[in-house]
Amino acid sequence: MVQASDFAFSGLHIPGNTSDAMGFRVTLVSMTQIPGLNTLGICLHQVDYAPWGIVPLHTHPRAIEILTVIEGSLEVGFVTSNPGNRHITKILKKGDVFVFPVGLIHYQRNIGYGNAVAIAALSSQNPGVITIANTVFGSKPDISTDLLAKAFQVDKSAVWQLQAKF
């Protein structure tokens, strides 16, 4: 028996804790929070940003993301696929909307001295998220240092330093 509570969520009025190193917090509103979303192919996230906070480079392998700025100003961007690898970027202000195509690496950064808030809608009930640095430098077991050093054309010590952070 379904109930109204299967189709509702309360909590986006509560600011997320942005005191981590990146300065952001995502509040999920997915089928876990709203069971009525199951099989509907959509979810929503609120993103709270500390001043100069960032959502680091990441991708959603199964969803388009559309971001609406509710408060503050954000620098947003994504990188197109090979061979162009074009960096598409824009400054967004309150009320502005930006689309991140499915599977492309993208980011957001609060460029203001105050907090910022955005709402992100994703075209999947399970969009997935792959954070690039965590994935590459924090995998278990580690990706070979030789391979990463060659791929990024850096010294092995740079790879070790990054792996130690993740």
Whether 106 has a binding-site annotation, put simply, is: yes
71 appears as a binding residue in the annotation:
no
CB atoms within 10 A of CB 42: 15
- For the record, the structure tokens of 31 come out as 């089928």
In angstroms, the first-to-last Cα distance of the chain is 45
Non-local CB neighbours of 129 within 8 Å, separated by 6+ positions: 58, 59, 60
Sign, CA dihedral 75-23-61-93, equals: negative
Q: Is 13 annotated as a binding residue?
A: no
Q: Residues at the annotated binding site for Mn(2+)?
A: 58, 60, 65, 106
Annotated binding site: 58, 60, 65, 106
Binding site residue list for oxalate: 60, 65
